[in-house]
């Protein structure tokens, strides 16, 4: 237990994280909540540590995460909860419009984050999205692609390889639980922007994000 002026505080939980954040210098200059992409936050000019595998000499302009500043209490995001980093961004336009379109040029994807997303889909894709389940009934047997919503294909067409997040196996019109397989050619950021899940899968992702990275 932690004692503060006669109060006994548990060593876990959000209040303790808040106390740890008091007096800590902020690691970013400003945060912008994207008005068009649900739950997305841009942390501008972050003082952050990139993965060791990243060979980068250009300063990072922004870190992207689904964390709100309130979640973090001035601390940096967990490695897996950082979506990625960008070195090329029109900051003035972002601050005016409260949204921006990422492109692959200058974007550094976080492999740990995408591995977390794939794990989530493996556990939940068979039950989290009613539209996907309805599509499985039409397929009947075989494999069903999970398309990236940033660039949905015309009805009845197969998405581009970079816009297929993964696939699930279908048997007798039902998605086989835990059959999800990631698509190696999928890109976290393409010329059409940052990846997007369907509304139901996004809601599922945010529930799990809160469990894994906020309430842990």
Q: Read off the pLDDT of residues 163-182 as tens digits, 9 standing for 90 and up.
A: 999 999 999 999 999 999 99
- Contacts of residues 93-96 at CB distance under 8 Å and 24 or more positions apart, as own/partner, are 94/32, 94/42, 94/44, 94/62, 95/30, 95/32
Contact 209, 68 (CB under 8 A): no
pLDDT of the residue at 166: 98
Share of the chain above pLDDT 70, in %: 84
Rounded mean pLDDT of 5-30? Answer: 51
The structure's pTM equals 0.84
Query: pLDDT per residue over 98-146, tens digit each?
Result: 999 899 999 999 999 999 999 999 999 999 999 999 999 999 999 999 9
Q: Please tell me the predicted confidence (pLDDT) of residue 8.
A: 39
Sequential DSSP letters for 88-132? ---HHHHHHHS-----STTEEE-HHHHHHHHHHHHHHHHHH-HHH
In whole numbers, what is the pLDDT of the chain averaged over residues?
Answer: 87
């Amino acid at each position: 237990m932690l004692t503060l002026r006669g109060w006994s505080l548990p060593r876990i939980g959000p209040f303790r994280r808040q106390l740890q954040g008091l007096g800590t210098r902020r690691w970013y200059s400003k945060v912008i909540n994207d008005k068009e992409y649900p739950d997305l936050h841009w942390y501008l000019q972050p003082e952050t540590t990139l993965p060791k595998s990243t060979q980068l000499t250009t300063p990072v302009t922004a870190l992207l995460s689904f964390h709100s500043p309130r979640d973090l209490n001035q601390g940096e995001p967990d490695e897996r909860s950082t979506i990625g980093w960008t070195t090329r961004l029109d900051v003035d336009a972002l601050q005016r419009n409260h949204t921006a379109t990422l492109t692959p040029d200058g974007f550094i994807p976080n492999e740990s984050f995408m591995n977390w997303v794939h794990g989530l889909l493996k556990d939940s894709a068979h039950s989290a999205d009613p539209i996907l389940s309805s599509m499985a009934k039409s397929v009947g047997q075989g494999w069903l692609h999970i398309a990236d919503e940033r660039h949905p294909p015309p009805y009845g067409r197969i998405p581009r390889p970079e816009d297929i997040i993964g696939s699930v196996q279908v048997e007798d019109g039902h998605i086989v639980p835990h059959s999800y397989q990631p698509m190696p050619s999928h890109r976290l950021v393409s010329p059409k922007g940052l990846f997007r899940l369907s509304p139901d899968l996004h809601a599922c992702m945010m529930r799990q994000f809160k469990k894994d990275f906020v309430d842990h």
